[in-house]
């Protein structure tokens, strides 16, 4: 992404969770490099997400469209101020 110009303000969620029917979904787009996999923070991220998906950990997973709208507005303002 650093080699392309931002075409519009947007956000890219790097991790999220949601309930799906009787199950749970954990998604993470992190971990593209070997050094990331060696990171204690990344290992904790994975363990937490997998633990939540298995039902071993409880955490808030309620959709938050208001927060998403607020973050989108922040991204738009940052984009506009960078032009």
Asked if residue 4 belongs to a domain, the reply is no
Query: Is residue 80 over pLDDT 80?
Result: yes
- Number of domains forming the structure of the chain: 1
**Among residues 1, 61, 57, which one has the least CA distance to residue 29?**
1
The residues, ordered by sequence, that sit 6+ positions from 53 with a Cβ below 8 Å of its Cβ are: 17, 23, 24, 25, 26
Q: Give the range of the structural domain holding residue 42, as residue numbers without chain letter.
A: 15-82
Asked if residue 7 belongs to a domain, the reply is no
Q: Give the pLDDT score at 67.
A: 82
Give pTM, 2 decimals.
0.68
Higher-scoring residue by pLDDT: 52, 83: 52
Question: In which band, very low, low, confident or very high, does the pLDDT at 1 lie, cut at 50, 70 and 90?
Answer: very low
Q: Give the pLDDT score at 5.
A: 62
Place of tokens 């709208």: 69
Q: How do residues 15-28 score in pLDDT, each as one tens digit?
A: 889 999 999 999 99
């Amino acid at each position: 992404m650093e080699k392309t110009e931002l075409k519009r303000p947007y956000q890219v969620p790097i991790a999220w969770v949601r309930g799906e029917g009787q199950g749970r979904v954990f998604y993470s787009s992190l971990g593209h490099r070997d050094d990331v996999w060696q990171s204690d923070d990344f290992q904790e991220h994975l363990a937490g997400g997998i633990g939540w998906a298995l039902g071993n950990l409880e955490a808030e997973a309620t959709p938050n469209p208001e927060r998403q709208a607020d973050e989108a507005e922040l991204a738009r303002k940052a984009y506009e101020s960078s032009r």
